[in-house]
Copies of this chain bind each other. A is one copy, B any other.
Amino acid sequence: MSGIKAVFFDIDNTLYNTGRLAEASRRNAIKAMIEAGLMVGEEEGYRKLLEIVRKKGPNFDHHYDVLVKEYSGEKKHQIIAAGIVAYHTTKLGYLVPYPETIPVLLKLKQTGIKLGIISNGVPTKQWEKLIRLGLQHFFDYVIISEDKMQKPDPRIFRGAVVRAGCRPEETMMVGDDIMNDISGANKAGMNTVLVARGETKKPRRKADEPDYLIKDLRGLLGILNI
Interface residues of A (CB under 8 A from B): 65, 77-78, 80-82, 84-85, 123-128, 130-132, 136, 142, 144
**Across the interface, which residues of B come within 8 angstroms of A65, CB to CB?**
124
A142 contacts B85, C-beta separation under 8 Å = no
Q: A78-B136, A142-B78, A144-B77 are in contact. Are A85 and B124 (CB under 8 A)?
A: no
20 A-B contact pairs sorted by A residue (CB < 8 Å): A65-B124, A77-B123, A77-B124, A77-B126, A77-B127, A77-B144, A78-B136, A78-B142, A80-B127, A81-B124, A81-B125, A81-B127, A81-B128, A81-B130, A81-B131, A82-B127, A84-B128, A85-B128, A85-B131, A85-B132
Complex-state Cα separation, A150 to B12, whole angstroms: 43
**A interface majority secondary structure:** helix
**Across the interface, which residues of B come within 8 angstroms of A127, CB to CB?**
77-78, 80-82
**Across the interface, which residues of B come within 8 angstroms of A144, CB to CB?**
77
**Across the interface, which residues of B come within 8 angstroms of A78, CB to CB?**
127, 136, 142
Complex-state Cα separation, A144 to B77, whole angstroms: 9
For residue A67, give the distance in angstroms from its CB to the closest CB of chain B. Answer: 13
Complex-state Cα separation, A80 to B136, whole angstroms: 13
**Across the interface, which residues of B come within 8 angstroms of A136, CB to CB?**
78, 82
**Most chain B beta-carbon neighbours within 10 Å: one of A85, A124, A128, A144:** A124
**Across the interface, which residues of B come within 8 angstroms of A80, CB to CB?**
124, 127
